[in-house]
Amino acid sequence: MTETAIIHPSKEAGSAVDIVRVRKDFGSAVGVADVSLTIRNGEFVTLLGPSGCGKSTLLGMIAGFVTPTAGKIVVDGADITDLEPYRRDIGMVFQSYALFPHMNVHDNIAFGLRMRKLPAAQVEKEVARAIAMMKLEGFEARRVRQLSGGQQQRVALARAIVIRPKVLLLDEPLSALDKNLRAQMQVELSELHRKTGLTTIFVTHDQGEALSLSDRIVVMNKGAVQQVAAPIELYRQPANGFVASFIGEINALPPGRCELKDGTASLVLPGVGPLVFPTAPATGFAPGRQVRAFLRPEHVRPVLAGEAGPNVVTGKVEAHIYQGSHTITRVVVEGIGLVETRVTGAEIVASAPVGASLGLAFDLSEAVLLDTAD
Amino acid sequence: MIQKRPFFITFLAPAVLTAVILAAAIFEVLQYSVREFVPGSLNVGGLTLENFARINRPIYWWVLADTFFISLLTAVFSLLASYPVAYALVRAKKDWVRSALVSLSITPLFTGEIVRTFSWMLTLGTDGFINSMLRKLGLIDMPIQLMYTRFGVVVALVQFSMPVMIILLATAIAHVDRDCERAAANLGASPSAVFWRVTLPLTLPGILSGIVVVFAWTMSAFSTPQLIGGGKILMISNLAYLQGFSVLNLPFAATLSLIALVCALGSLALMKTITGRIERRLAVN
Ligand SMILES: Nc1ncnc2c1ncn2[C@@H]1O[C@H](COP(=O)(O)OP(=O)(O)OP(=O)(O)O)[C@@H](O)[C@H]1O
Ligand SMILES: [Mg+2]
């Protein structure tokens, strides 16, 4: 019962956050370039992109710490672009947690409620709930400096959700944790999101984290949005070369021409020949069109040298990258360049030593075709 | 250890030398304080505890109490005057504002105490800056007495102590995590609530050390109370000076100096205990 108590009051359908052509310039440098984004109520959205792409700046504009150069931010139907941060009712967890070092765990969590001048009894009730929810029982009187990283993380989350914010902002909250704790906190984060139903905007530059946690991912680069999509769609159908190579590993083939002959669709690479599609691709394919194909390493299969067949090319093994459950093998293919293939186990290290020639079969059923300009 | 660090002794030598000379001087004061005063002579007589017995008179207790009082007032007002300056100095957005504030608050350190005191005498005197301004504005007919008052002494002492106070406070303010302030605002704290509940508590160590340093510093003030107090406001060092160089009672002057030293150290220890307790309660560091 206590767990369902902190439920977002308005979990009906509709948009919680509307970001309309928001822009932030730092002098002549662009922090965020004309970003438009609609986030639905209760959605878990991740801002993903390389360092310096404007994620924190965008988050800061939603929280009110950064004033946009242009554009508008609407939360729950109200334009908050010019509203002071303390009137916004938006919860935030900072990368450094920013817990108050001069207060204990209880007072840190109670801070937002006290600022709202709630009666003491209600403050105690809500704090106790948040403490139970974040499994912080027994730590109430502890100084925040005496907590482990994971516990501090929980206090920061409890402090942000206890005020029942309209939106929860998380700026790389897991980046300071070690790998095991990070995995555990990922699980707790999605559990928290499920329990509270809070509209959440999560910032990370870790694509694995983004893929496993999000309803939708917003990929950013140099201040601009590259693609907004659900994790599976993002992985399968990246909108451009940047997204394709930022999300997971991918092989970029050189530009080629689409051809359709006798009902067979193929990609003709100059100097290599035609690569055949098992079925005509749904998107990006048009006879005569110049395209670049992107192919995941798991769709490139090593075959014995000399084994002929459709879509088989031969190259020279350059390196093996053993990763436990699987091995990534780098092969240099003439006319194509570096191609990576991923196979389970480590047998390939012995069967195709560095310098040996290796055949590669391309499975184009999952290939992504993009404009040569992208 | 010494073999591992061959320069250790060389580096330590100046400090050791200074410490030895200081210890010798204090010992000399100590031994003067238990000697008999021979009127009309700079030579001292035999051993006696009479000087310490003499302290126990209302006039001397009064000077001691006044020294405490003036030091405490100076520390408190110095804090109140310095905090806004230190805050602006650290937080000003424009570079030139910051450098202007730095030079304004630090330059007084490089003018001697006598020069600064003399400027205050020009400012506070009956024909001084303040009185003539007030008179020109028609606010007063008769000059107000500012020189030779406790008020005048404290004002001058506050100004002298401000650079040190500002440096200590600015260091503390610069160390405040801006994200903590943002977090407080994010949780609904208005700008003033952010200041009172986050910024100020987080700068408390700086505030406490500023008060302790200025208090101890003012306890030993001499030329300011001497010149601006003009004998009407006596602090302990003025009393010692009076006994030593007007009455030429060196043994009693030594006793007073010793008592001043003990009082300064005692109040420092007391303040350290208090501030240590406050800091531990807040656990800021
Ligand atoms: N106050 C500022 N003044 C000038 N430039 C800034 C300021 N804040 C951010 N920038 C610039 O804006 C760009 C975006 O910064 P931002 O902090 O939003 O990146 P980020 O995506 O959060 O990166 P990271 O993953 O490293 O945190 C960067 O190029 C940064 O240098
Ligand atoms: Mg950032």
Q: What is the pLDDT of residue A11?
A: 45
* pLDDT confidence of residue A60: 95
**Residue-range domains of chain A with CATH:** 3-246 (3.40.50.300), 251-371 (2.40.50.100)
Whether A169 contacts A93, CB under 8 Å: yes
In a mutational test of the B interface, the residue from A65, A114, A115, A159 whose CB has the highest number of chain B CBs within 10 Å is A115
pLDDT tens by residue, B111-127: 888 888 888 999 998 88
Cα(A267)–Cα(A260) distance, rounded to whole angstroms?
A: 9
Give the whole-number percent of chain A exceeding pLDDT 90. 68
Distances B15 to B9, B10, B251 between C-alpha atoms, Å: 10, 10, 29
Q: Name chain A contacts of B284, Cβ cutoff 8 Å.
A: 101-102
- Locate the ligand 1 atom nearest the alpha carbon of residue A59 and give its number: 18
Query: Which chain B residues have a beta carbon less than 8 Å from that of A102?
Result: 201-202, 204, 282-284
pLDDT value of position B4: 67
User: In terms of CA atoms, which chain A residue is nearest residue B182?
Assistant: A65
Pairing of strands A199-204, A167-171: parallel
**Closest residue of chain A to B283, computed from CA coordinates:** A102
- Give residue B5's pLDDT: 72
Please tell me which residue, B279 or A156, carries the higher pLDDT value.
A156
Q: Is the pLDDT of residue B187 over 80?
A: yes
Q: What is the mean pLDDT of chain B?
A: 89
Our answer on whether the CB atom of A55 is closer than 6 Å to any ligand 1 atom is yes
Residue A305, pLDDT score? 60
Strand A264-269 relative to strand A256-261, pairing: antiparallel
Find out whether the beta carbon of A52 lies less than 6 Å from any atom of ligand 1.
yes
A59-109 per-position pLDDT tens digit: 999 999 999 999 999 999 999 999 999 999 999 999 889 999 999 999 999
pLDDT-wise least confident of A19-23, A32-36, A304-308, B25-29:
A304-308
Partners of residue A75 in chain B, C-beta under 8 Å: none
Contacts of A63 in chain B (CB under 8 A): 182, 186
Mean per-residue pLDDT for A102-126?
96
Mutate to test the interface with A, among B187, B200, B203, B282 (most CBs of A within 10 A): B187
Closest C-alpha to A365, from A252, A283, A289 = A283
Whether residue A96 and residue B177 make contact (CB cut-off 8 A), yes or no, is yes
**Burial (CB count <10 Å: 0-12, 13-18, 19+), residue B113:** middle
**Cα of A93 to nearest chain B Cα, Å:** 8
Residue B25 in tokens: 């001087």
Q: Which domains does chain B have, with CATH numbers?
A: 24-284 (1.10.3720.10)
| Closest ligand to residue A52's CA | 1
Binned at pLDDT 50, 70 and 90, residue A282 comes out as confident
Q: Using the predicted structure, report yes or no on whether residue B152 has a pLDDT greater than 90.
A: yes
CB A117 within 8 A of CB B188: no
Would the CB atoms of B282 and A102 count as touching at under 8 Å?
yes
Picking from A89, A98, A145, the nearest residue to B182 by CB comes out as A98
Q: What is the pLDDT of residue B1?
A: 47
Is B282 in Cβ contact with A90 (below 8 Å)? Answer: no
Q: Report the C-alpha gap between B281 and B285 in whole angstroms.
A: 11
Residue A282 or B35, more confident: B35
Q: Among B186, B192, B208, which would you mutate to test the A interface (most chain A Cβ atoms within 10 Å of its Cβ)?
A: B186
Q: CB-based contacts of A71: which residues, under 8 Å, 6+ apart?
A: A19, A20, A21, A22, A23, A34, A35, A81
Q: Tell me if A98 sits within 8 A of B177, measured CB to CB.
A: yes
Nearest CA in chain A to B187: A112
* pLDDT over 70 percentage in chain A: 95
Which letter does DSSP use for residue A37 in this model? E
pLDDT digits (tens, 9 = 90+) for A135-194: 999 999 999 989 998 899 999 999 999 999 999 999 999 888 888 888 888 999 999 999
Contacts of B194 in chain A (CB under 8 A): 86
Distance CA B155, CA B78 (A): 9
Joined tokens for residue A84? 């002071």
Is the Cβ pair B188, A100 closer than 8 Å?
A: no
- Closest residue by Cα to atom 28, ligand 1, is A52
What integer pLDDT is reported at residue B263 of this predicted model?
86
Mean pLDDT along residues A198-220: 94
Look at residue A75 in the predicted model and tell me its pLDDT.
Answer: 95
- What distance in Å separates residue A100's CA from the closest CA in chain B? 6
What are A316's strand-pairing partners? A332, A357
Q: What is the pTM of this model?
A: 0.85
pLDDT at site B110: 84
In the prediction, which pLDDT does B127 show?
87
State the Cα–Cα distance between residues A141 and A124, nearest whole angstrom: 13
Q: How far apart are the first and last CA of chain B?
A: 32
Q: What's residue A6's pLDDT?
A: 44
Once rounded to an integer, what is the mean pLDDT over residues A300-329?
A: 86
pLDDT beyond 50 at A10 = no
- Ligand 1 atom 11: the closest Cα is on which residue? A31
How large is the average pLDDT for residues B15-19?
Answer: 94
Tell me: the pLDDT tens digits for B210-260? 999 999 889 989 989 999 998 888 999 999 999 888 888 889 999 999 988
Could you tell me which chain A residue has the CA closest to the CA of B284?
A102
Residue B41, CA distances (Å) to A137, A217, B37, B51, B247 in order:
78, 93, 8, 17, 11
The residue among B50 and B177 whose pLDDT is bigger is B177
**Is any ligand 1 atom within 6 A of the Cβ of residue A53?**
yes
Q: Has residue A260 got a pLDDT over 70? A: yes
Taking the C-alpha atoms of residue B282 and residue A189, their distance in angstroms, rounded to an integer, is 31
Indicate which atom in ligand 1 lies nearest the CA of residue A55. Answer: 21
Alpha helices in chain B (DSSP H): 8-33, 50-55, 58-91, 95-106, 113-124, 129-136, 150-174, 178-186, 191-194, 200-202, 204-219, 223-229, 236-241, 250-282
Residues in chain B: 285
Residue A24 beta carbon below 6 angstroms from any ligand 1 atom: no
* Chain B positions with Cβ closer than 8 Å to A: 177, 179-180, 182-191, 193-194, 197-198, 201-202, 204, 282-284
pLDDT of residue A90: 96
Higher pLDDT, B44 or A155: A155
How far is the C-alpha of A284 from the C-alpha of A369, rounded, in Å? 5
Query: Using an 8 Å Cβ cutoff, are A348 and A329 in contact?
Result: yes
- B138 compared with A59, residue with greater pLDDT: A59
